[in-house]
Amino acid sequence: MSNTKLGHLVIKKATDINLLGPTRVTQIMLPLIRRARGRVIMMTSGLCKVASPVRGIHCGLLAAIEAQAECLRKELRSRGVDVVVVAPGEFTAGNSWLSDQVILEQARDMWAQLCQEQRIEYGKDYFETAVRSLETKYTKCQ
C-alpha cells in the first residue's frame, strides 16, 4: 500500500472517530433530546484553540466539533435544548494508557507513512523533536 493511501486511511479513521461518530450519535438521539427539552454535551479539547506540531488533523477535527456545537446551539435554542461544549485542559495524572513507547511507535508509523517529499520537507530532526515534545507532557504524572 502506498504512503499516500496509508495517510488517507489514518485521516479517515481519525475523522470517523472524532467527528463522524459524535455527529451520528447526536443525529440519532436528537429527536428524543428535543422531545425531553434535554441537553447535548460535546467533548472537545483545548487543542482546537492551541495547535500542536504533528497533531493537525486532531486539532482540526476538534475545532469542527466546536463549530458543529455552535450551529446546533443556535438551531436548538428555540426548542428549549441546550448545547454544551466541554473542553478539558491537559491531563496526565493517572493516564496509564499512554506511554513513551506508544508515542514513539505511533511516530515511527507516521514517519513510515510519509512520502519521500514530505520526509525531505520536514526532516527527521524536526519530526523527532516534535514527537519528543509530546512524550513527557502526555505520559508522566505531574
* CB-count burial class (<10 Å; 0-12, 13-18, 19+) for 142: exposed
Q: Is 59 a catalytic residue?
A: yes
SS3 (DSSP) at 85: strand
Type of residue found at 25: V
List residues bridging with 39 in a β-sheet: 82
Of 48, 59, 115, 141, the active-site residue reads 59
Closest by CA to 92, choosing from 43, 141, 34, 50, is 141
Known catalytic residues?
59
